[in-house]
Structure formats: structure tokens, C-alpha cells
Structure 1
Amino acid sequence: MHFVVVIPARFESSRLPGKPLMDINGQPMIQWTWQRAVAAGADQVVIATESEAVQNACEAFGARVCLTSDRHQSGTERIAEVIDQLALPEDTIVVNVQGDEPMLPPTLIHQVAQGLAEHPQIPMATLCEPIDDVETVFDPHAVKVVRNGENLAMSFSRAPIPWSRETFVVHRWLPDHWPYRRHIGLYAYRAGFVQRYVAWPQCALEQVECLEQLRVLWHNEPILVLDALEEAGIGVDTEADLQKVREKLFDESLQTPSHSL
């Protein structure tokens, strides 16, 4: 299987400006993410950024970088420009790895690419994982997904979906008979589909929820949603997330055995 990973890395993050270059145990966040992507076995791993500072830092640790426009509204738009710059064929599988996912397991990057490769009639694939606490179901930062019997997305929402009429009104207990799923923001698409996607205007549902994948469903295109083979780890949206990642990656480094010649 052949695939390309593109890592959008926007310097001017609204919540954490300069996020790609924030230090995590001695190296910038974007380097941790890039290392995970390289380990997934992609044919190419490309970092896409609007920032020369990010470009210089990434090239210093050996990454390939595409300098892109600063006018893009989403990582997918940035990836579309990279597809143009690299002249990727329409059937190329492109995996979108968010630059703020320094703990993302390489297994999941490979899994989402493999899932798309095994379903040639589907233009886009993503992953999900179980939710086992009701607080996460009600957390608007945790995106929930509902699938049909063929593991195709029916909807994504920041709200609790499906709404458990019997347990949410008074007690907010998770019902025993429904497996709630959190969407993992990792996508694989075919290059030609990305170009079609960015040509569509934002749909009303996407604007309300602030979830760009809803544009795909709005245009009646299928999204394959697979159960992740392992936990996705912590993405960095806040200073608190950043500190958690520093601690976990530090602990992992202590647990990794050293090898001497």
C-alpha cells in the first residue's frame, strides 16, 4: 500500500499561537508528530505551513516542508495546496495528521490509510474510539460520531448523540445498550476528492457545529469510520493539554530501555 502523509502546521493558532514550535521535552511539538508519521511507513511525509519559522525548524530536523498560503481556513485547504504543489495523482491516498498530535500512534496512521485502500469506492476514512464516561459524551470538545451498519458515518456532533431519552433527562447515565464513540480527528482521503471538497462552499450544518467533515455528508458522500486499533493519545489544544503531553512523553522515555553497543 502506498500513501502520503501531510501534516498541516499553522503557526498562528487562535488558542495557542506558535503551537507547532512549542517545546516538548527538548524538541518542538511538530517534530514529535512528524516522527510518528514517519514511523507509519508512508511513501512521503510532508509538513504544510504558512510560517517560515516553522519551515526553518522543520527543515533543521530533516523534514520535507511545503510553504503554503496564510489565507487557508482549514487544514484540508492547506492539504489541497500541497496536492497541487506535489502534483499528486487523483487516486493517491493522502492522510491528514494534525500537527498538534504528538502522541498519535503510527499504527492509527497506517490503519486509516489501509482502511481507505480496502474500500476503493469510498473517498474518505477516519477513526473513532469508545467513550466510557458520560462527562465525555456531554463535553462539546469531544466530537461524537454515529455510524450505520456498514461503519459509514451518519452524523458527527459536539452534542450528545444519540440522545438517550431514558437516562439523560434526569440522571445523565450512559445507557447499557448503546456504544458511544468519540471521533478521532485523523483523516485519509483520495487526492482528487480533496480538490472536490475544497471547491464546495461551507454548508449550514458545518457552520453551526464548526465541524468540516459535515460538509462531506451534506454532499451525500460516504465517510468510513473504523474503530481505532489503540488509543489515540492526547492532542494539544490548551496549555493544560501541553503539560499533560510533556509528562506522558517524559514517562514513556523513562520506560523505554536504552541500548548500548
Structure 2
Amino acid sequence: MMKYVKWIVAFVFAISLIPVVMITAVEIAVYADYGYFEKEYIKYDVNAEGSIVDMEMDELMEVTKEMMSYLRGNRKDLVVYAIIDGEETEFFNDIEKFHMNDVRNLFVAALYIRRICLFFMLSTASVLFMLNAGVLKTLSKMVIWVMGIFDITFVTLIGLISLNFNRAFTIFHEILFTNDMWLLDPDTDRLINIVPEGFFVDTAIRIAVIYFLINFIIFSIAFLILCGKIKWIKRKNTLTQDGGTYEQG
């Protein structure tokens, strides 16, 4: 019976690890380096002269930083002014603000889910420790199996998405949003101009690369543990009893 409990607890740990890694990969991809946004803006010439985003790159980057701060919940609104075509103008219109509020709710919820999953990971690891169930090896075996199966599924999904990214993008939005405010007009909405389809393709690839790099680190550690290269170090306490000593592991 204890054997089944051990593996069920380890399974909960491994399942909880997946959203932690995925959400962290997204966070690193879009928050670790704002220079990525600038490179993408230059690549797609989003602030071309005569466009509705005709503005200096430095000004556009300030707007980007405020937008990303808003998505994390660090800014209460998306009222951001910028010099566009020589005039100070509010960058985002009402439709864009509505949609970005939906995106913000999703991202903040994802961060909350990650905290819950981290709690489950800590709790399950603690339970295994108390059960004296060989914490590191038990978790390593389960992580390799669970994440391995998920990664195969994930790679298959990536392959399907690559066949028709635009269709996948539409389905993704229809699943996540209960309204059609995400259907922006490039003639009137600046947001869709600074993050065109190409930007989303590049960012999806960036997220996938980071995700699999983190996976590689996790799998490497797990294999090292199973090979005995990394071991749980037990602290030995020396106790005195009737004038003698003995060690307790």
C-alpha cells in the first residue's frame, strides 16, 4: 500500500512541475530581455514612417515596458501616452485596452497557478521525505516518465501548429477568450501593428526553445540522480547514552 502512495505522491509532484516549467518559459521569453522586442520591431519595421505607429524606437520601447508591466498586474491601467507622428497621443484605444485586460487576467492567473503548483511540489516532496521513500530517486523516475510523455505530446502539437499557424492562433484565441475583441484592425489598432503574426511565430519558437532547455536541465539532473552521481546527504547526529555514543542517520 505504501508503495502506491509513494508513486501517487510523486506523480502529483511531476504533474505540478509541468505548468511551473511552461509558465516560467513564457515569463523568461517575454520579460527577461526587452531587447527581444526591439529586435522584433526592427525586423518587422513596425514603426515605419507614415504608419499609425510612426514614432521613435525609444518611445515605442517605453510603451512596451508599460504594457508588459500592466500584464503582470504591476500597473492599474493601460492609459499610456506617446509621441506619435509628432503629436502626443494615447497609444491604446478602448478595444485594445479591453483585450489587453483579458490577456492580463490570463497572465496573472497563470502566475497564481504557478504558485499553487510550487506549493504542491514542496508538499509532495515533504511527504515523500517523511515516508522515507527515497525522495530524489522516486521523484526523478516519475519526472522522467511524466514529463517525457508530456514532451512527446507537446512536440506533436507543435508539429500540428506549424502546419497552419494562423488557424492554430485563431483556435487558441477562441478557446481563451469569450469575446471577439482580439480581432484587431491593423488600420486603426496600433497593438496588432507592433505585434504582427510574425512576432507571435517568433515568440512561440522562443518559448519552446526555453521550455526544452529547462527540460534538458531537469532531465540531466534526474538521470544523474538515478545514476548515483547526486545523492541525498543525510545529516548524522551523534547521541550520548549511558556514557557511550552512537550515530543516528
Give the number of the structure whose alpha-carbon radius of gyration is greater.
2
Structure whose residues are more often helix by fraction: 2
Would you call these one fold, judging by a TM-score over 0.5? no
Greater relative contact order (Cα < 8 A, sep 6+): 2
Q: When the two structures are superposed, what TM-score results if normalisation uses the length of structure 1?
A: 0.24
Structure whose residues are more often strand by fraction: 1
Q: When the two structures are superposed, what TM-score results if normalisation uses the length of structure 2?
A: 0.24
